[in-house]
Each structure stands twice: as C-alpha cells, then as structure tokens.
Structure 1
C-alpha cells in the first residue's frame, strides 16, 4: 500500500514515521524545504518512551510527481484543508482512499466535496507529536488510540484494512461504526487543553499542575458536551474530567498542544475549528458557550499580537 501523509508536521511525522518504521511505503509532504531536506538527508528521528530511532522515509514539498497513492492521510491544519487537497489531486486514483485525522469539525465534508464521499474515511487520533528540530520528532504513540470509520453505511472493509496496517505498525487503531460521535469525543479532548495551553504557554506537565486551569478546562468541555447532546450526538465521554484526564495520558511532561506549537511558530491556530466550532454550533442551537467564547477571544488576541510584535515570532 502506497501511503502519503499530506501535512507532515509533528503529528504527521509521528504517524507516518511509525508506519515507515514498520516497513510501509510512506511519503511525507511538508511545504517547508528545510524540513524536507533534513528528512531526506538524515532520515526522520522518532523519540518516544522506548528511546529514539532513525527511520528512512521519503519527504517532498508538494504532491507533484509522486504518482497515485492508495491512502492519503490528511493532517494539514484545518484552515488549509481545501487548498492542500486541491493541490494533491494528482495523488488520487480510481481506488485511492482519503483519511482525515485532523482536529476539529467539518474537514471530512470539505474532502468529500472534492474527491467524493465514497473515497473519504474520517477518524481521530490521540497520538501526539512534538517537533524538536527539522527531522526530529517526539512521537507520543504508546497507548494512544486512533479511531477510523466510514462516513456512510458501506461495509467497513477499507477501514478494517487500514486499521490492520496501523495496528501492525504499533498504532493502536479501532474501526468505529459511528465515526461522527467519535469526532465529537476527540473534539472534547482538544477543547480541554488546546486553547489553555496556547494562552498560558505551558506544556502539558505544567498545565496540569494549575487547579484553576483544570476548572476552566472542565467548564469548556461541559459546554461542548451540551452542544453535542443538543445536536443528537451520543458521546462516549460522560463527564468533563474524562476529556481532561485523557488529553495528557501517556504524553511526556514537555509535550505541547498543537495550538501552542502554532503560536510559538508565529502561525495562526485551529481555534475556529475547535472552541470556535463549539461556539458557532451552540449559537445555532441556543446553547450558551461563554467559556469557549472567551478562550477563542484570548487566542485571537494572541494571534493578532504576533502581527503587531513580530519579534515574538522571531524569538519563537
């Protein structure tokens, strides 16, 4: 199976590198030449609970000339989904499957509009990735589950085949019959820690030492759960603390949420697709979401501040 990771940042490298380490035919696409050059020159170094290992894997800055893939794993930032997939249509053949493992809501619908709903699988992963330097990534894979499933009612043969491949590589993967509920479950995890990590600048270990942060996180998750239930979603997470506890399980002290990683690079975040999605859907359903609205406002302010204080971006 030929696999391409579209958007091979820290998480994409963690997943793609783990698959490549197990012998899979993987190509990593990252727009930044320095990342691609480092991987092609020195290999991809994965650091984890069992030490570190260098993996030989192909990297490229675009899809041009790579040929048709059997599986495209989409891990670009939410706001880049449309443009990235439009630029990667040369990878799509008659039997290509497109799997979104992105954070937030709505990506699978964008992909379905481009390549057809029958090609698209949706999923969520609790695997973590943290970029150390170009070509060196902390891969939080141990005990971290990935869940995938069909968007429509077709048989799960394709999903089962992908899960078998992932499991063989050590990526614990389960096929879900109700993937949309799973997407909401993962959203709760991101709501619990993403914005708060970005606002405070704290990695997970330090973040979890502040009781007031925990209280704020639980309030934000409770709002998201109320919105999900008003939407008719049957969540597997029953209490807000479950999302908070699960978010950091198995990750090292220094691990940073993706929103914090984005801000430290001077980039905008995916807050519109996480806390912002809760606020938007809550407003449509008449469910109050003041905590999430406040978190969105804080992140937007920090993003704006990076424009007015470019030296912060350079320091990061």
Structure 2
C-alpha cells in the first residue's frame, strides 16, 4: 500500500516515521521549510519517552501522483481547504482519505473537496512535539481511533492501514461511532490546548493547582452541553475524570500543538476547537462564556505577535 501523509508537523512526522518503519511506500507532503529539509537530508529523528532515539529515512515531497492508495491528512485545520484544494486533481477516485486532525469540521471539508472519494475521520491518542528541525519528541501514548467507511475496498485498505499503525507501536482501533470519538478527543483538546497556550505550561502542569482543574472543568462542562445538543451523549464526570487522568498519566510532559504555535508566533487551531464550541453554542442558544473568552484571548495574541512585550 502506498501512503501519503499530508502535513509534516509533529504528528504528521510521527505517523509518517512510524509507518515508514513498517513499509517503504510512505511519503510526507509539505511545503519546503527547515524541518522538511532536515528530514530529507538526515532522516526523521524520533525521541521516545525513555529517550531512546530512532532515525528513520523519510522523503518529504512537494509533487505527488495519482497512485496513492491512502492519504492521511495531518494538516492544521485552518490550512486544510487551501492545501487540499490545490491538490484535488492529484488523486484517483479510489484514494481513501483519512483525517485525524484536531477539532470539528474536517471531514466536511474533505467531502467538499473530494465528493467522489471514500473518506473517514479519526482521532489521535498519540502526542508529539517538534524539538528541533528534523527531530520530534514522542510524548503521548493513548489509543488512536478511526471510523469505518462503507465502501468495501476502502474497508480493506483501512484494515491494512490500522494493522500497520499497530505494528509500528501506534495503538489504533476502528470505531463504530466515530462522532462520539471525535467529541471525546475534542474534550481533551479543549481542556489542554488553549490552557497550555495561554499559560505556557506543559499539559500536566495545568493540573498542579485547583484553579487549573476548575478551569478545565468549566471549559469541558460547556462543551458537553453543546455535544448533547448535537446528539452526542456523554457522562460529564467520567469525561472530566478521563481528561484529568490523561493529563496526569498519558502526556504530562507534552507541549500541546497550540502552545507550540503560540511560542513560534503562528496561527493556531482555536477556531476548530474552543471557537467551534462557541459557534455551536450560538447555533443552539447555549451560553459558552469560558470558551468565548478563551477563543477571544487567543485571537488577540495571534493578532499582536509583533507587539508582544519581552
């Protein structure tokens, strides 16, 4: 199976590297930048939890052909439409697209661009951050979940893909109710991405104080009310306990993607995470003051990177 991973950030790099350790037909797609250049020159270096270092030869491409069996979309959500619209004629109608991006709305964007292709959505329990160009830290070790396509050939491709991920050490399962899975991952993103970006703390450090735990609870409580309005039924206390346990045990040392965006003065995914909850709140007439405020503060920071006080 020939696989293309679109987006060479921390998670795209991690998945591409692990997949490449299992099969030779794995490629990354990304615009040129120092991280990409380092990977092409020296391979991708993955630093594991025990500081074990693995260097994996990997090719990052800027031109692609129609012969990919599966495309794994790992772009920042705000870049999805622009990047994939540019590539929409580069794939056959048989190519299976898998999105494992953060937030809400990703599958809908793919369906708009590739209406004739099989599409599935999933979520990542894995976590990683870019330590330096060509070098990533693997710091999240949860289970990944992917929904199931209706097309039989696509099901076979996805089964092979999931097997490759599991053999690579990235635990992955197929999910019957992928919307519930997406919302459960969204709760984790809501809890940690924005708070770590605002406080400039690692995930686990958010939980060091009662104030941090209370903020996490308030953000998730609003989101669960929205999820219920959208027809996704979850248990508030179980979700909060799960999010806290994940922060304490699965990825306490991880630097969230939104924190890294803020530190590097880049556009964040706030619109697809806290902003998406706030927008759905307006749709349903439900107040979301915590998610409204957090979204607003992140947007103020993004708009004023050049004016920040050192």
Return the TM-score normalized by structure 2. Answer: 0.92
Judge which range, 213-222 or 233-242, deviates more.
233-242
The equivalent residue for 2:131 is 132
The equivalent residue for 2:34 is 34
The equivalent residue for 1:95 is 94
Tell me how far 1:70 sits from its aligned partner.
Answer: 1.0
Q: Kindly report which structure 2 residues correspond to 1:290-301, keeping only aligned pairs within 5 A, or say none.
A: 290-301=289-300
Tell me how far 1:211 sits from its aligned partner.
Answer: 2.3
Judge which range, 187-196 or 154-163, deviates more.
154-163
Q: Kindly report which structure 2 residues correspond to 1:135-214, keeping only aligned pairs within 5 A, or say none.
A: 135-140=134-139, 142=141, 144-150=142-148, 153-154=150-151, 156-214=155-213
Q: 1:198 to 1:141 in 2, by over 3 A?
A: closer
For the residue of structure 2 that corresponds to 1:92, the secondary structure is coil
Partner Cα separation in structure 2 for residue 191 and residue 157 of structure 1: 33
Tell me how far 1:140 sits from its aligned partner.
Answer: 3.0
Report whether the alignment pairs 1:244 with 2:244: yes
Task: Structure 1: state its 5+ residue gaps.
Answer: none
Judge which range, 10-19 or 116-125, deviates more.
116-125
> Structure 1, residues 142-201: CA drift from partner, whole Å, max 9, x if none?
4x21100136x5554443232122112111111111111111111001011111001001
Q: Kindly report which structure 2 residues correspond to 1:34-113, keeping only aligned pairs within 5 A, or say none.
A: 34-50=34-50, 51-60=52-61, 62=62, 64-113=63-112
Tell me how far 1:247 sits from its aligned partner.
Answer: 4.4
For the residue of structure 1 that corresponds to 2:101, the secondary structure is coil
Partner Cα separation in structure 2 for residue 247 and residue 179 of structure 1: 22
For the residue of structure 2 that corresponds to 1:266, the secondary structure is coil
Tell me how far 1:66 sits from its aligned partner.
Answer: 4.7
Q: CA RMSD in A?
A: 2.0
* 1:192–1:247 Cα contact (<8 Å) kept: no
The equivalent residue for 1:21 is 21
Partner Cα separation in structure 2 for residue 85 and residue 37 of structure 1: 22
For the residue of structure 1 that corresponds to 2:233, the secondary structure is coil
Tell me how far 1:214 sits from its aligned partner.
Answer: 1.4
* 2:204–2:247 Cα contact (<8 Å) kept: no
Task: Structure 2: state its 5+ residue gaps.
Answer: none
Partner Cα separation in structure 1 for residue 244 and residue 115 of structure 2: 35
The equivalent residue for 1:123 is 122
Partner Cα separation in structure 2 for residue 154 and residue 188 of structure 1: 30
Judge which range, 205-214 or 122-131, deviates more.
205-214
Tell me how far 1:246 sits from its aligned partner.
Answer: 2.2
Judge which range, 42-51 or 203-212, deviates more.
203-212
The equivalent residue for 2:276 is 277
* 1:146–1:171 Cα contact (<8 Å) kept: yes
Tell me how far 1:204 sits from its aligned partner.
Answer: 2.0
Judge which range, 99-108 or 285-294, deviates more.
285-294
For the residue of structure 2 that corresponds to 1:233, the secondary structure is coil
Judge which range, 3-12 or 156-165, deviates more.
156-165
The equivalent residue for 1:233 is 232
Partner Cα separation in structure 2 for residue 251 and residue 123 of structure 1: 19
> Structure 1, residues 56-84: CA drift from partner, whole Å, max 9, x if none?
11112x2x245531111111111111111
For the residue of structure 1 that corresponds to 2:94, the secondary structure is strand
Judge which range, 271-280 or 92-101, deviates more.
92-101
